[in-house]
Amino acid sequence: MSNLSLAEQQKITKPQIEEEKKMEEFLCQSCGSYFPVEGFYGTNADGSESADYCKYCLVNGAFGKPDETMEAMIESCLPWRIKSDKLPDGYPDAETAWTEMTKLFSTLKRWKA
């Protein structure tokens, strides 16, 4: 139950809600995975946290597989995106996952044309 009055709750805007969600998790601009913010940021060359990439994709300012293509990244991420007991909200099958991931990846910073 919220401590805010009904009037205060009604003043909360969609952008505020979206901003709160961003504070809780972020979308890696390489692998397209959502991660909780704490402990999952990659690192820039200067050792600072990257606001765009996860720790699995970017270490010390370099991608783990710098020559990897978008298609290869999708292929490596595919098993982690298909519906299972551990991922009940995943895609129903590999074909659907591939199609949807291709759409998403084409919008990510690392893969934008």
Quick: pLDDT tens for 65-88: 999 999 999 999 999 899 888 888
Strand 58-59 to strand 25-27: parallel, antiparallel, or no bridges (unpaired)?
A: unpaired
pLDDT value at position 6? 54
How open is the CA angle 93-99-100, to the nearest 5 degrees? 90
In the chain, domain spans: 1-64, 68-113
Q: What is the pLDDT of residue 32?
A: 93
Average pLDDT over residues 5-25: 52
Read off the pLDDT of residues 27-73 as tens digits, 9 standing for 90 and up. 999 999 988 878 899 999 999 999 999 999 999 999 999 999 999 99
pLDDT score of 5? 56
